[in-house]
Copies of this chain bind each other. A is one copy, B any other.
Amino acid sequence: MAKTLRVGMIGYGFMGKAHSNAWRQAPRFFPLKAHVAMHTICGRQAAAVQAIRAHLGWENASHDWLEVVESPLIDIVDIATPNDSHAEIAIAAARAGKHVLCEKPLALNVKQAQAMLAAAQKNKVVHMVCHNYRRVPAIALAKRFIGEGAIGEIQHFRARYAQDWLVDPDYPMKWRLDKNTSGSGAHGDINVHIIDLARYLVGEFKEVCGLMHTFVKERPLTAPTSKLQSPAAKAAEKKGKVTVDDAALFIGRFANGALASLEATRCAAGRKNQLTLEINGTKGSLSFDLEDLNRLKFHEVCGLADRQGFRDILVTHPDGAHPYVNHYWRNSNSLGYEHTFLHTMADFVNACIEGKPVHPTFEDGLKNQQVLEAVELSVKKGQWAKV
């Protein structure tokens, strides 16, 4: 445990907050193979970064990402910026020989992702995409079950990521709704999560066919000051054009023959952040719901016919039978969203010391991007697309 890894984090918004928390907390719970020093937080607005530095637990603040990335005092570069800067920062970091952890989605497109992967490989750094849901304990347990053959050969994968913040037509324009700044809508933002889980749990996609739709094509540039706005005022408000999808669905086939159905939407009234999935195999099934994340449902085709049924596994076994949880609290106490980041950082740190790959690598990020693009191509052409 002698070694110390010094982290430089680029970005200080919502994801910066979540990553900072994980960097602070991971060493408190997990027996890491290195000390972690939260060396520098970096963002464009020097004053804002400085103002939040101590609160988030960092030793230094910077507004020059390149300086951080190239600093000999930094071992790990953690990229928590908006998507359009991932590639540039990651490539520079890899070239500087730094291990790189990058928020999802890895890049704006396949080309960027390829360049990022190439840079990481060429410079032999450890590279990881922060797809935190892989390390929800219930998902990690699902992966273990599948690996042990508990559900046999997979035949169906079905997932849906449903939110509802765009149901309201008065929700105003944001950079996330502009294709130039965001790349895509629900597709790149949340479909990518379930694409990553599909690849993690089932394997590579072979071909896909999709559908993307924008329900509300124009939105007010600013949020209405009141719900009781007069019709005249409403008519006079300035509108911006929404250029990304509100919803993206696709069906597909995996290389191993399993069938896929995925859906991402920001227009499912009442679904706040619901990622559900079900996997059916020749020997059993698994199902999961992110809104009840401490649970995994498992059906096993065996035993007495009168006892068959989905088991409701509370993935918080006090004696360490379940992944990650024994590092926290006894008595099967619940974990939440933030802990998935702790697990990510913990595994990443250990991989940096061991010099071993740690999933999801940039190669995973690239493959996710290839699936995203294949779906987009299929939508454009109205037919199936190979991945």
Contact = CB atoms under 8 A, between A and B. Distances in A.
Contact of A382 (B165, B273, B384): B384
B308 A313 contact: yes
Interface stretch (A70-78, A119-127, A285-293): A285-293
Contacts of A209: 209, 211, 251, 382
Given A309-B311, A329-B18, A269 B251 contact: no
Given A14-B330, A155-B167, A382-B383, 16 more contacts: A21-B25, A155-B267, A158-B263, A167-B301, A168-B301, A213-B259, A251-B261, A269-B283, A270-B308, A291-B314, A307-B313, A308-B321, A309-B312, A311-B312, A329-B337, A383-B384
A162 B310 CA distance: 14
Interface in A294-353: 294-295, 297-301, 304-314, 316-319, 321-322, 328-339
Contact of A281 (B251, B253, B263, B269): B269
A54 to B, nearest CB: 10
Interface of A: 14, 18, 21, 24-25, 28, 55-57, 141, 144, 151, 155-156, 158, 160, 162-165, 167-169, 209-211, 213, 215, 247, 249-253, 257, 259, 261, 263, 265, 267-273, 278, 280-285, 290-295, 297-301, 304-314, 316-319, 321-322, 328-339, 382-384
A169 B282 CA distance: 9
A247 B156 contact: yes
- Copies of this subunit: 4
A32 to B, nearest CB: 11
B251 A271 contact: no
A211 to B, nearest CB: 5
Nearest to A250: B251
Contacts of A305: 317, 319, 321
A308 B300 CA distance: 12
Contacts of A56: 28
A206 B246 CA distance: 20
A280 B268 contact: yes
